[in-house]
Amino acid sequence: MKKLLCLVLALMLALAAIGAVAEVTDLPRNETLYFAGQQWGSVNSWNIIGTNQNNSMAIAGGASGYRTLMFETLYMYNFMNGDIIGLLANDDYAWNDDMTALTFTIKDAAKWSDGTPVTGADVVRTFDIGVEIGNGTGTGFKGYIDSIVADGNTVTINAKLNDEGQPVNPLKVLDFLTGTPIAQAAWIDTVVERCGGDAVTILNDPGEDVVWSGPYTKLYADDQKVVLVRDDNYWGQDESMWGKLPVPKYIAHAIYADNPAGENALKAGEVDVCQQFIGNVQNLWLEDGLPISTYYEEAPYGVCLTMPTAWYNFNLPVLAENPALRKAIAIAVDYDTIIANAMTNQSPSFADVPRSLMNPTEGEQALYNHDEVADLQWAGNDIDGANALLDEAGLLDTDGDGYREYNGEKISLNAVCPNGWTDWQASMEVVAAAGKNIGVEITTLYPEWDIYQTVFTNPNQTEYAIYMWSPEAASPSNPWTRVNQFMGSEFVGVENNWSGNWGQYVNEEADALLKKIPVTTDEEELKSLYTELTKIYLTEVPSFSLMYRPSLFHAVNESVWTNFPTGDDGRNIPPADCTDGYGIAALYDLELVEG
């Protein structure tokens, strides 16, 4: 009898397992858009006001716009032209005269998944709870936003003011519009109540009952796959928004072990949209003849928005006291090799886009005076120049061992990035090779990620000399945010520093200029401020960028779906993986490949 029971139980388990598998494989291919390169590991939670959700398809503040598949922001950012486009809110946001308050209205049609309208009170509650429990929204914006008040659908954001009565940073207030997912006030109340108001418990609530406003919601998620399903009652089919539903019924993301696995799935046509760096991506169509394409047909294939940068550690006297050494290493590095090797030419060269504080987009490039800083810029591989700089600064090789000394000690530095980050490792190898040419010992070091992240965010560390991290890519507050990350002293000494200035560089002149920019609206003045900052940066060299890089990669396989955005289609939809910021507009235009 017992045996029979066991057998029956085993059978039931097996059937259940088959059922689960069947569910996974049963997604109709021509109704499902498959992704790769966004979700790593299984989902932690669906709690939009929590932290550490590890839920990239639903909750992800992308570097170039928030991912609005399930939760929506007030506005969508389009990094192609800097547009701020209404989503939950109407296109009517306006500053008052002294930029201390910003007012906008919520769309009448905007609804939550439970059918109730989205109101100003939801925006207020989202911000307030964030400040109260210290989630990303709260810590990110409480320094710039004093309060948010609502009257029905009209919302006013009061900027935080400094001692002179000026707003601290109006640009960051705009970031709030495009970067903060709005949660339902009623749902927040429910969560607060069941967690007894305890901040930590609220942050870690699984949020399975969350209320959303976006076009998709969770179908299921396990350690193999995350699937979102279209909400056919989505409010956005109203004429005041998209006027229709997004085309794919399912959004699916298989959880791959690593980049090569995702790349192989893309090649096999199992993935439609791939957010992964693929070396020599052009070979996929030139040599393999696969129906794969990128946003642009030619190199750099995508839109480069950020610049992975090597930061000098100012806790080390040899680096802090020798601007000549900092500049010499920076001008000796062979950037063409980095770009050709590490990025396989998916980046413009520093000869095409001379180095500054700006990313290569036209909008940012227009923000500084190119002629004024031309003498300070460098394209790299200038060994003679670097050696001359070091000789002039008195950093000489006096004991004949082939390496220069400072204060009688051999200059020996390490170049560090996390292990397994292939393109960064290759860059560090090239930096180390440059050291050899100028008599500075540079050795590479690739610690595991968990070690790396604790060391480089520690403001007092002296273990790493040259180490890599990327500054911000694109948002309404850029390039200011990025420039502030390069030189702003507000991050110096901050424990567990993920915000900026990882080298602990201090320059009062730069700080003063940085303070002026957010409240400057005159374009000429803005340009002269940025030009001054560029001059300081290129003279002092507190860090140096190694390449330009897209913040999102966007390779699509058109075996099933087509009409993805491209650079020349005139739609101006950014290559943001069909998910981020205004990039989500792509989902409404997708078509099935015929035949």
Partner 1 sequence: MKNTLRQVFHSSKFVVGFVIFVAILVTMFVYPLINPGNPLEMIGVGTFARPGTYVSLYDATKTPTETFRLADADDKRLASQLSAEDRVAMVEWFTAAGIDVEGLDISDTDALLDMWRANYDASVKPKGMTNAKRNYYKRLNSAIEQVSAADTLIITDKDAETGELVEQGRVTKTDYVNVGQVTNVKTLPLGTDNFGRDVLKELVSAAGTSIVIGLLAGLVATLIGLTLGLLSGYVGGFVDDIIVFITNLFTVIPGFVLLILISYSIGQEQRGAAVVALVIGLTSWTWTCRSVRSQVISLRNRDHVNLSKLSGHSLVRIILTDILPYIASYVVMAFILQVSSGILAEAQLSLLGLGPKTTEVPTLGLMMNWAMLYSAHTNGSWWAYFPVILTITLISFSLNLMNTGLDQVFNPTLRD
Q: Which stretch binds partner 1 (CB under 8 A): 90-98, 143-151, 276-284, 492-500?
A: 276-284
- Binding pattern for the stretch 341-360 against partner 1, x by CB under 8 A and - elsewhere: x--xx---------------
Instruction: Closer to partner 1 by CB, 259 or 365: give it.
Output: 259
Work out whether strand 309-312 and strand 543-545 pair parallel, antiparallel, or are unpaired: antiparallel
Residues 547-576 as x/- pattern, contact with partner 1 by CB under 8 A: ---------x-x---xxx-x----------
For partner 1, the binding residue among 444, 470, 478, 543 (CB under 8 A) is: 444
**Considering only residues 163, 232, 287, 409, which one is a binding residue for partner 1 as defined by CB under 8 A?**
287
Shortest distance in whole angstroms from residue 435 CB to partner 1 = 9
Q: Is 265 helix (H, G, I), strand (E, B) or coil?
A: helix
Measured between its terminal Cα atoms, the distance across the chain in Å is: 56
Q: Quote the CA–CA distance of 531 and 230 in Å, as a whole number.
A: 47
Q: How far is CA 475 from the centre of its chain?
A: 9
Nearest to 300 by CA among 547, 556, 16, 483: 547
270 binds partner 1 (CB under 8 A): no
**Three-state secondary structure call for residue 495:** coil
Residue 152, classed as helix, strand or coil, is: coil
**Position of tokens 């010499």?**
328
* Dist. CA 287–CA 289, nearest whole Å: 6
Give the CA distances from residue 338 to residues 21, 156, 305, 346, in Å, rounded to whole numbers and listed in that order: 44, 47, 17, 11
Q: Which is nearer to partner 1, 350 or 564 (CB)?
A: 564
Letters for 291-330 (x = contact with partner 1 by CB under 8 A, - = none) are xxx---x---------------------------------
In angstroms, the CA 543 to CA 85 distance is 34
Among 340, 351, 366, 396, indicate the residue that binds partner 1 (CB under 8 A). 340
Tell me the β-bridge partners of 252.
34, 227
290 lies in the binding site for partner 1 (CB under 8 A) = yes
Give residues 406-425 in contact with partner 1 (rule: CB under 8 A): 414, 419-420, 422, 425
Backbone angles phi, psi at 217, to 5 degrees: -145, 170
Name which of 178 and 557 has its Cβ closer to partner 1: 557
User: What's the min distance (Å) between Cβ of 283 and partner 1?
Assistant: 6
Contacts of partner 1 in 497-556 (CB under 8 A): 556
Tokens 């996929």 belong to residue: 284
Distance CA 433, CA 410 (A): 17
- Candidates 96, 240, 443, 496; binder of partner 1 (CB under 8 A) is 443
d(CA 375, CA 392): 18
Question: Strand 441-445 relative to strand 94-95: parallel, antiparallel, unpaired?
Answer: unpaired
* Beta carbons of 100 and 159 less than 8 angstroms apart: yes
Task: Quote the least distance from Cβ 339 to partner 1, whole Å.
Answer: 9
Number of shown-chain residues binding partner 1 (CB under 8 A): 47
Residue recorded with tokens 């770009």:
339
470-to-481, 490, 499, 594 alpha-carbon distances in Å:
12, 18, 11, 41
Under 8 Å between Cβ of 170 and 519:
yes
Nearer to partner 1, 507 or 562 (CB): 562
Backbone dihedral angles phi then psi of residue 229, each to the nearest 5 degrees: -120, 145
Least distance in Å: CB of 169 to partner 1? 40
Q: How far is the CB of 318 from partner 1 (least distance, A)?
A: 17
CB-wise, 289 or 400, nearer to partner 1?
A: 289
593: Cα within 13 Å, side-chain hemisphere: 13
Does the footprint of partner 1 cover residue 285 (CB under 8 A)? Answer: yes
Smallest separation (angstroms) from partner 1 to the CB of 157? 40
Least gap, CB of 313 to partner 1 (angstroms) = 16
Q: Closest distance between partner 1 and the C-beta of residue 442, in Å? A: 8
* Token pair listed for 339: 């770009």
Whole-angstrom CA distances from 151 to 119, 156, 170, 180 are 9, 8, 22, 20
- Based on CB atoms, which residue is closest to partner 1, 320 or 428? 428
Q: Which of residues 56-85 bind partner 1 (CB under 8 A)?
A: none
Query: Per-residue string for binding with partner 1, 201-240, x by CB under 8 A?
Result: ----------------------------------------
**Least distance between partner 1 and beta carbon 362 (Å):** 23
Query: Which amino acid is located at 566 in the chain?
Result: T
In the complex, which residues of this chain contact partner 1 (CB under 8 A)? 260, 263-264, 279-280, 283, 285-287, 290-293, 297, 334, 336-337, 340-341, 344-345, 414, 419-420, 422, 425-426, 429-430, 432-433, 442-447, 556, 558, 562-564, 566, 591, 593-595
